[in-house]
Structure 1
Amino acid sequence: MSTAANIVIAAIALLHLWFLILEMFLWTKPSGLRAFGTTAEFAAQSKALAANQGLYNGFLAAGLVWGLCLGGGAGFHVKVFFLACVLIAGIFGGLTASRKILWIQALPALVALVLIHLT
């Protein structure tokens, strides 16, 4: 289970790195507009907010990578903390912004939390 948990955690970290790129660098580009279903006008007005949100997603990715690098013992608590942050952010986003966030962000974090507690 440890390997499966680490694979899921790595995938979540990569996903949040992708969110960073989308929100910080591609927000006003066609790929960013498609990903978030926004208009060019809205994207232009909210560019600074999106970049800030992207930076936070980068911190989540960095924390998960940190936990993976620490390994099983010391990294366990780091992984749990950052996965809990991802889960809470995903639930909040799913309730306030788009239900899709529950499936893309919250569910993978919940799966990873279950997997690391099974090891």
Structure 2
Amino acid sequence: MVGTLLVGLVALEHLYILVLEMFLWTTPRAMKSFGMTKEEAVATKTLAANQGLYNGFLAAGLVWGMVHPNDQTGESIEIFFLICILVAALYGGATAKRSIWFVQGMPALIALVIVLAL
């Protein structure tokens, strides 16, 4: 139950990132979150939408694992997508903003540890 809750929270986080990157990229909220000027946001809008779509795929994978009728298969799916998020967070934190390690990587790591422990 705790593992499912944590996986669900990570999925919600990535759905939020999808919305932020695909639909709200040029808003003050997104520009502040990503430390961009209006000009930078406009210039990178298409790239951000692509990134947002990938975050949506990560969320979809986590939800798929949560609702899979076979618990063992569902857990394997969750583990795979949590690892994908961790790898993306490690890369993003190393190449873009270190806060990605904490904002995206840490929730995925905690959820992964709990899923593996149960």
TM over 0.5: yes
Query: Which shows bigger deviation, 84-93 or 31-40?
Result: 31-40
Pair 1:111-2:117 in alignment: no
Are positions 1:50 and 2:57 aligned together? no
TM-score under structure 2 length normalisation? 0.96
- Aligned residue identity for 1:4: V
| 1:9-48 equivalent positions in 2, closer than 5 A | 9-48=7-46
Structure 1, residues 41-60: CA drift from partner, whole Å, max 9, x if none? 00010000000000000000
After the TM superposition, which segments of 4 or more aligned residues of structure 1 sit over 3 Å from their partners? Answer: none
Quote the offset at 1:5 in angstroms. Answer: 1.0
Aligned twin of 1:87: 86
Superposition deviation, residue 87 in structure 1: 0.5
Partner of 2:75: 76
For 1:69 and 1:35, how far apart are their aligned partners in 2? Answer: 31
Could you tell me which runs of 5 or more consecutive residues in structure 2 were left unpaired when the two chains were aligned.
Answer: none
2:110 maps to a residue whose letter is: V
Q: Work out which of the residue numbers 1, 4, 7 in structure 2 matches 1:6.
A: 4
Pairs aligned (count): 117
TM-score (norm 1): 0.95
Q: Which residue of 2 aligns with 1:96?
A: 95
Deviation at 1:4, TM superposition (A): 1.1
Inter-partner Cα distance in structure 2 for 1:4 and 1:91: 24
Amino acid at match of 2:17: F
Amino acid at match of 1:36: F
